[in-house]
Structure 1
Amino acid sequence: MIAIKDKLTIDTWVTANWNEFIEVSENPAYQKARCYYYNGKMRIETMSIGPDHASQHGTMTFAINLFCTFKGIPHRGLVNCSYRKTGVRESQPDISYYLRERVQSAPTGSSVVDLDQFSPPNLAIEIADTTLSDDKGEKRLLSEELKVDEYWVVDVQKAQILAFEILADGGSRRIYQSQALPELAISVLEEALERSRQPDQSQVATWLVTQFQQV
């Protein structure tokens, strides 16, 4: 039998059992990769290092933190945090948030978050530069299984956000105003992403403050 590491293709879904996934995800060679497991398949994904991805990642976290601060919403944001349902699934979104009452029981430490012990985050966000199709597809289905409240995909090239509410009875639906962060319109975040394309981003914060003061 060929070892899974010998037939592994990066940035695509590969059939593997759970033990094979753990073996690969714990391999030092993939320390800087992002790891997903869903429906009997794993995906080892190289992290984007481009400036556009980095810029929009920073804009999203800043905007959400600022909105929560203005609205007095308790929040804990995590970057590239892995969430694991042992033997079943694992996800590592670019950004995730625990909100309101879940903040008090949000995970800490240096290990993968064990979903048998902790609740999933309220919000999971993928910043999609070269992974848009997969982020809209398999990873959205994975987020539905993880039972987050909302799942967002940021299209880096278009500075657009595909936001989905995860439904209690299964599936998800497109939304244009966040339910996890009430009164936050997705269009405001998209405008912030567009404004952040400018070399000098100092005006983005001022503009966001003005917008959040109005809601």
Structure 2
Amino acid sequence: MASPLPLQTISTDTWVEATWEAFLTFADDPVLASGRFYYDQGYMRIEMSPLGAAHGQDNTVLSTLVNLYAAVKMLSIKGFTNTTFRKAKVRESQPDLAFYVGQGLKLPPYNNAPVNLDECDPPTLVIEIAASSLEDECDRQQRLYQHLGVREYWVVNVNTGQVFATALSNADGTKIRESQVLPGLGIDLVEKALRRSRTEEDGAISRWLLNVFSELGSAQ
């Protein structure tokens, strides 16, 4: 399907006005498969910037951390990386990491189609790793995830290792320093793991996390 306008004429890494149909011509174009796409009630954002080692490393550490914590705490969890979540004709997002946490959730089927949020529950926790787009991630995209029904949203500043966590509801967002969907997990610990990962290999980080999580469990 041909795009109505060449990508070169569209401003990337910012929100621009667009119809749902125009957005789909970009989002579903296999030539742009390396891009990331967001849509929220008449506005789209296309991110075509290359992702470097820092982004990929933080992504890996955070995925490991969340899954290990859930395993130690016996929480039901299902994670997705760079997956498209679509509310047809209204909203779409492609977060770095998304997790379904808890029992009784309607999970996406195993296929390569965008996750249809008219048929599945939205993810419980969404994590975005940001550099130059930090302000947008904490503002416009936070509202997008709020409208999608996500319960908790983390934005990671890849340059500093800071994590901005927000508990989301239909009405607003509340800044938090302890996860509500992963009870007992402090955001300070998440930031410490990111800092340690700058100088330590993944196995060492995983072993350290397991020890910390086990100690947290025994202290309760």
TM-score between the two structures when normalised by the length of structure 2: 0.91
Structure 1 residues 2-11 or 141-150, which shifts more?
A: 2-11
**Distance of 2:36 and 2:58 partners within structure 1:** 18
Counterpart selection for 1:137 from 128, 136, 139: 139
Read off the aligned partner of 2:4 and give its amino acid letter.
A
1:161–1:186 Cα contact (<8 Å) kept: yes
Alpha-carbon distance change, 3 to 76 in structure 1, aligned in 2, over 3 angstroms? same
Aligned pairs, number: 212
Read off the aligned partner of 1:184 and give its amino acid letter.
L
TM-score between the two structures when normalised by the length of structure 1: 0.93
Structure 1 residues 35-44 or 202-211, which shifts more?
A: 202-211
Note the residue ranges of structure 1 that are not aligned, 5 or more in a row.
none
Structure 1 residues 105-114 or 146-155, which shifts more?
A: 105-114
2:4–2:25 Cα contact (<8 Å) kept: no
Counterpart selection for 1:149 from 129, 133, 151: 151
Read off the aligned partner of 1:198 and give its amino acid letter.
T
- Measured on the aligned residues, the alpha-carbon RMSD in Å equals 1.6
Q: How many Å apart are 1:40 and its aligned residue? A: 1.1
**Distance of 2:144 and 2:49 partners within structure 1:** 19
Residue 186, structure 1, aligned to residue 164, structure 2: no
Aligned to 1:210: 211
Q: How many Å apart are 1:47 and its aligned residue? A: 5.3
Read off the aligned partner of 2:212 and give its amino acid letter.
Q
**Distance of 1:77 and 1:136 partners within structure 2:** 22
Alignment partner of 1:37: what SS? strand
Q: How many Å apart are 1:28 and its aligned residue? A: 2.1
2:163–2:187 Cα contact (<8 Å) kept: yes
* Moved beyond 4 Å, runs of 4+: none
Identity of aligned residues (%): 34
Alignment of 1:99-178 (within 5 A): 99-102=101-104, 105-108=106-109, 109-168=111-170, 170-178=171-179
Aligned to 2:79: 77
1:127–1:154 Cα contact (<8 Å) kept: yes
Alignment partner of 2:183: what SS? coil
Alpha-carbon displacement from aligned partner over 1:165-213 (angstroms, at most 9, x marks no partner)? 0024x11010010010111111111100000001534321222112101
Note the residue ranges of structure 2 that are not aligned, 5 or more in a row.
none
Alignment partner of 2:99: what SS? strand
